[in-house]
Structure formats: structure tokens, C-alpha cells
């Protein structure tokens, strides 16, 4: 039984109305999807691990001054977040060639890029999230030029910080996807990091073995996804006991 109002349901997450105006509860499901939902499965424990890892990364980013939607984790599958107006872009930052960049441009997977590359994809399931340029974004009004400049500089800052953080635990941050939103505070608007950052939306390779510790294990039918995410959590010093155990039901969210 879940009495809370569902605001939005995506492939891997559900957003519920939060306890106070301007807040939402972000619930991490166990669903794994790839290739725009053509491949779909349930992987028990994935939601719990992503909730914990994303909480940790958003907290750390907050500590260095990156504004985010994150308020606090509520339980094993849910976190309290600020409601933002999502900018309809998937912002991908790449350090090493892999995935669609390798396929599109014929660059061998694993090739170090001469510098970090930022790409934008328009969020649209019907169109398969097409790659777009700054010209499309500003011409169609998905973001203004100053907003896009903020998004770019935040994305690069997040990349620098997370690359170092993962390097410290023997993991190469190959690439990742992030999303941004507009947070309204009265008349003032700030661009903040939204959604999640977890092994679902990053490529994470073990520096020593080159093992993949991310969702490519699911996309490429390699198996061992939960074990890989658990390894990421373990290296980050997060204790996620038995992530497959819990299924959280309705949650009492206490206001401050
Ligand atoms: O598939 P591609 O190489 O473009 O993915 C780049 C990065 O963005 C990968 O880390 C992938 O996990 C992430 N991504 C994502 N959601 C998408 C597309 C890509 O999280 N819809």
C-alpha cells in the first residue's frame, strides 16, 4: 500500500510528492533498462545500492559547493529532494572513449581522450535521446545560453571531482551522464545537479583489471551487476548490508 501521490515514474525511479511544498521523494527501483527500454529486467538490490552511492556522491559534491537537489536519504530506497524543473538534456562527460562515442566515431574503446568531452542529448524516448548541439538547445529554448554555460562549467567541475574521487579508490571514471534542473527560490533561479549519479549512469573501470563495475554488465549480458555495484560501494567506504533484503513500503516522512 502506498498512499503517496506519484508525481512521475521513470524507468528506474519513481518520484512521489514530498512532505513539504517544493520537495519530492525519489524512490530507486530495481528495474534495469537499456537501449531505450528494449532490454528490461529486475535486478534485486540495484535500487538500494544506487540510492546509497548517489547519496554519497551528491553529498560530496555539495561539500565542494556544487548545488544539488539532494536533501537527505530517508531509507534504503528513498531520498528527499528539492523539486526542480528538469532541463530536458542528458549531459554526458567523457574521459575515455567507450560506448556510443566509440561506435559513432570509430575510436577504439579504452582510448584516452585528449581532453574531457561534454555532449548533450535531448531527453525524448520517442526520438531515442538524439545527440544535439548547443545551437539546437538554445534555438529550441531547452536552455538559454547563460544556463548552458552554467551547465557546462558545473559538468566539468563534477567530472574533475568525481574522476579524482574514483581514482583514489582504484576506479577510472570513463564517462557519465548527469541532469540539471532549475531550482526556484522566490524570484531567484539556480541551476542545480538533479536526478542521480550511480553506476547506472557512469562507466566505471577497475584501474588494475579493467573490469567493468557499471551498467555495461547488464547492457552487454556480462552478469554480476549487483556484485559490481557492491564493489563500488565497498570501495567508497559505504556499508550496504544485504541490499537484496529490503523492499521498503510506505515511509513516514517527518518534516523538520
Ligand atoms: O551510451 P553512451 O556511450 O552514449 O553513454 C555515455 C554515458 O552516459 C554512459 O556512462 C552511460 O551509462 C550514460 N547514459 C545514461 N543514460 C542514457 C544514456 C547514457 O546514463 N540514457
- pLDDT category at 245 given cuts 50, 70, 90 is low
pLDDT the model gives residue 229: 98
Closest-lying ligand 1 atom to the alpha carbon of residue 103: 3
pLDDT the model gives residue 244: 81
Is the pLDDT score of 251 beyond 50? no
pLDDT the model gives residue 256: 45
Q: What is the pTM of this model?
A: 0.94
From 92, 106, 171, the mutation candidate for ligand 1 (largest count of ligand atoms within 8 A of CB) is: 92
Extract long-range pairs of 97-102: CB within 8 Å, 24+ residues apart: 98/174, 98/175, 98/203, 99/175, 99/203, 99/216, 101/175
CA distance 161 to 180: 17
Closest-lying ligand 1 atom to the alpha carbon of residue 214: 12
Average model confidence (pLDDT) across the chain: 95
Crossing angle of helices 46-63 and 145-167, in 10° steps, is 110
Q: Is 219 exposed, middle or buried (0-12, 13-18, 19+ CB in 10 A)?
A: middle
Contact between 59 and 81 (Cβ < 8 Å): no
Distance in Å, CA 48 to ligand 1 centroid: 20
Q: In this predicted model, what pLDDT tens digit does every residue of 70-128 receive, in sequence order?
A: 999 999 999 999 999 999 999 999 999 999 999 999 999 999 999 999 999 999 999 99
CA distance 117 to 243: 34
CA distance 167 to 158: 14
CA distance 103 to 101: 5
Is the pLDDT score of 246 beyond 60? no
pLDDT the model gives residue 102: 98
Ligand 1 binding residues, C-beta < 6 A: 90, 92, 98-101, 129, 175-177, 201-203, 215
Distance in Å, CA 92 to ligand 1 centroid: 7
Domains of the chain: 85-206 (3.30.470.20)
Q: In this predicted model, what pLDDT tens digit does every residue of 123-148 receive, in sequence order?
A: 999 999 999 999 999 999 999 999 99
**3-state helix, strand and coil shares in percent for the chain, rounded to the nearest 5:** 25, 35, 40
Distance in Å, CA 90 to ligand 1 centroid: 9
Amino acid at each position: 500500500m502506498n498512499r503517496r501521490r506519484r508525481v512521475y515514474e521513470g524507468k528506474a525511479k519513481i518520484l512521489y510528492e514530498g512532505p513539504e511544498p517544493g520537495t519530492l521523494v525519489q524512490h530507486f527501483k530495481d528495474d534495469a533498462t537499456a537501449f531505450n527500454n528494449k532490454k528490461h529486467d529486475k535486478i534485486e538490490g540495484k535500487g538500494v545500492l544506487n540510492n546509497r552511492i548517489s547519496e554519497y556522491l551528491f553529498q560530496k559534491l555539495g561539500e565542494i559547493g556544487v548545488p544539488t537537489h539532494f536533501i537527505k536519504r530517508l531509507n534504503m530506497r528513498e531520498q528527499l529532494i528539492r523539486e526542480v524543473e528538469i532541463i530536458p538534456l542528458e549531459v554526458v562527460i567523457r574521459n575515455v572513449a567507450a560506448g556510443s562515442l566509440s561506435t559513432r566515431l570509430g575510436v577504439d574503446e579504452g582510448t584516452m581522450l585528449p581532453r574531457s568531452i561534454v555532449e548533450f542529448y535531448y531527453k525524448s524516448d520517442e526520438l531515442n535521446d538524439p545527440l544535439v548541439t548547443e545551437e539546437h538547445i538554445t534555438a529550441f529554448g531547452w536552455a538559454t545560453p547563460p544556463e548552458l554555460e552554467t551547465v557546462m562549467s558545473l559538468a566539468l567541475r563534477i567530472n574533475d571531482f568525481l574522476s579524482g574521487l574514483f581514482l583514489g579508490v582504484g576506479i577510472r571514471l570513463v564517462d557519465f551522464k548527469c541532469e540539471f534542473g532549475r531550482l526556484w527560490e522566490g524570484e531567484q533561479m539556480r541551476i542545480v545537479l538533479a536526478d542521480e549519479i550511480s553506476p547506472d549512469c557512469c562507466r566505471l573501470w577497475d584501474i588494475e583489471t579493467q573490469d567493468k563495475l557499471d551498467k555495461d554488465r547488464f547492457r552487454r549480458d556480462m552478469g554480476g551487476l549487483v556484485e559490481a555495484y557492491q564493489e563500488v560501494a565497498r570501495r567508497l567506504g559505504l556499508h550496504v548490508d544485504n541490499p537484496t533484503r529490503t523492499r521498503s513500503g510506505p515511509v513516514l516522512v517527518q518534516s523538520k
